[in-house]
Amino acid sequence: MANVLVIDDERSIRNTLKEILEFEKFSVDLAEDGEEGYKKLSENNYDVALCDIKMPKSDGMELLQKCLENGVSTPLIMISGHGNIETAVEAIKKGAYDFIEKPLDLNRTLVTLRNALNRSNLESEAKQLRKTIKLIKGYDIIGESAALKGIKEMIDKVAPSDARVLITGPNGSGKELVARQLHEKSKRAKAPFVEVNCAAIPSELIESELFGHEKGSFTSAIKQRKGKFEQADGGTLFLDEIGDMSPSAQAKVLRALQEKRITRVGGDKDIKVDPRVLAATNKDLRKEIEKGNFREDLYHRISVILIQVPPLNERREDIPMLTEHFLDNICKEQGIAPKRLNKDALKVLQEIDWTGNIRELRNVIERLVILCDNEITAADVKRYANPEA
């Protein structure tokens, strides 16, 4: 049964709506002005609210603004008189779900209510899906080692700013997780997080990937295309493995960071962009600068803050927490009953030389989940952790 709040200063309208909606199997609560309405919305979980625009004390527009500012997500359907249509349209622009004109039409009211409920249900399902995706992809940074605590503290300090961050560490150590946490804890969290693996894109295509291209700028450019800098405008651009970027692309990235402008391949128009740039590498960029492979001026642009992610071998005390996390996630992902490692199996895992870091550990746990019984033993770990041995 859906919960509906009716906010209207006219008792006759409140009572009529209550009677009709309860007949239609809704649960109905009432408020006689904006102040009481906001109090009830902030203290209770309603599926939808009907709100008059013209009310004493606090009107519908003030209530809508309060809800937006304070994260009250209940869909609001505004009720307006003939003289308030422009105000009602303005309310929709500001985030109201819809408006119904007085005198109220029963069928129109019920259809609008049910549409709002359907949207509310879809949004709830989408939120749950996003949580599930995050759980499966494992964006949380798992562990309580001293090194990891230091990284988490640094993320909390740096994330709210727009400072550029260079994340260093070996392959599979979790550099992307650090970048995603920096984004999720930033003021840009609701904007896109756009990732570019600079090592995976051929050098002749990297500029088109980053800056986009105009139609006809090269043989396969059959239409205009926005690059990653434009896609990440207002959000976060994560340049993974930036140490593998070509010299010409480095020069253009430097210009984009300096001027906050880019030019598409084959174009002559400057396009203003404002992404926060995070970069990661498994290389020692200082040595790459000495070899002439990386621009020193670009290095200083991207490394306002440095975060070094240690290899898994240097934080073995995190392996039990990581193992439990991966076990839980993988079992849910595979749709199978939960499994557990016994103490001896966990001890063997902590003794392995994890050259592939966290990525290798996750692969091993997935292999154990698929191939072993409900209780995973030390013998299982020795047998399946390194199948090529």
DSSP 8-state code for residue 161:
S
pLDDT at 138 exceeding the cut of 60: no
Q: pLDDT value at position 181?
A: 95
Confidence of residue 379 (pLDDT cuts 50, 70, 90): very high
d(CA 191, CA 126): 17
d(CA 60, CA 74): 14
List alpha helices for 241-356, DSSP H.
247-259, 285-290, 296-302, 319-334, 343-351
Mention every residue, 6+ apart, whose C-beta is less than 8 A from residue 203: 246, 249
Taking alpha carbons only, the member of 361, 352, 384, 368 closest to residue 174 is 361
CATH number for the domain whose boundaries are 3-133:
3.40.50.2300
Model confidence pLDDT, tens digit, residues 245-258: 989 899 999 999 99
Distance of CA 26 to the CA centre of its chain: 34
d(CA 378, CA 108): 66
Residue 210 tokens, joined: 């980053």
Confidence of residue 129 (pLDDT cuts 50, 70, 90): low
pLDDT at 44 exceeding the cut of 90: no
The correct answer on CATH 3.40.50.1100 for the domain covering 146-310 is no
* Three-class SS of 213-254: ECCCCCCCCCCCECCHHHHCCCCEEEEECHHHCCHHHHHHHH
Taking alpha carbons only, the member of 118, 100, 119 closest to residue 109 is 100
| 30 DSSP β-pair partners | 6
Phi, psi of 238 (to 5 degrees): -105, 110
d(CA 223, CA 9): 56
d(CA 279, CA 169): 12
Question: Do β-strands 193-197 and 48-52 pair in parallel, antiparallel, or remain unpaired?
Answer: unpaired
Q: Give CATH 1.10.8.60 domain extents, the chain.
A: 313-384
Mean pLDDT, all residues of the chain: 89
Q: Give CATH 3.40.50.300 domain extents, the chain.
A: 146-310
Asked if 99 and 77 touch (Cβ cutoff 8 Å), the reply is yes
Q: What is the mean pLDDT of residues 184-199?
A: 93
Higher pLDDT, 127 or 342: 342
Helix (H, G, I), strand (E, B) or coil at 263: coil
In this structure, which CATH number among 1.10.3860.10, 3.30.300.20, 1.20.120.1200, 1.10.8.60 belongs to the domain 313-384?
1.10.8.60
Confidence of residue 22 (pLDDT cuts 50, 70, 90): very high
B/e letters for 344-359, b = 16+ CB within 10 Å, e = fewer, are: ebbebbeebebebbbe
Q: pLDDT value at position 299?
A: 97
CA distance readout (Å), 6 to 17, 38, 56, 83, 234: 8, 11, 15, 21, 38
Q: What is the mean pLDDT of residues 85-108?
A: 83
Q: pLDDT value at position 370?
A: 94
CA distance readout (Å), 62 to 20, 58, 78, 245: 27, 6, 12, 51
Question: Which of 83-87, 214-218, 312-316, 346-350 is predicted least confidently?
Answer: 83-87
Higher pLDDT, 214 or 154: 154
pLDDT at 241 exceeding the cut of 60: yes
CA distance readout (Å), 268 to 135, 223, 262: 43, 16, 10
pLDDT at 120 exceeding the cut of 80: no
Residue 301 tokens, joined: 């642009």
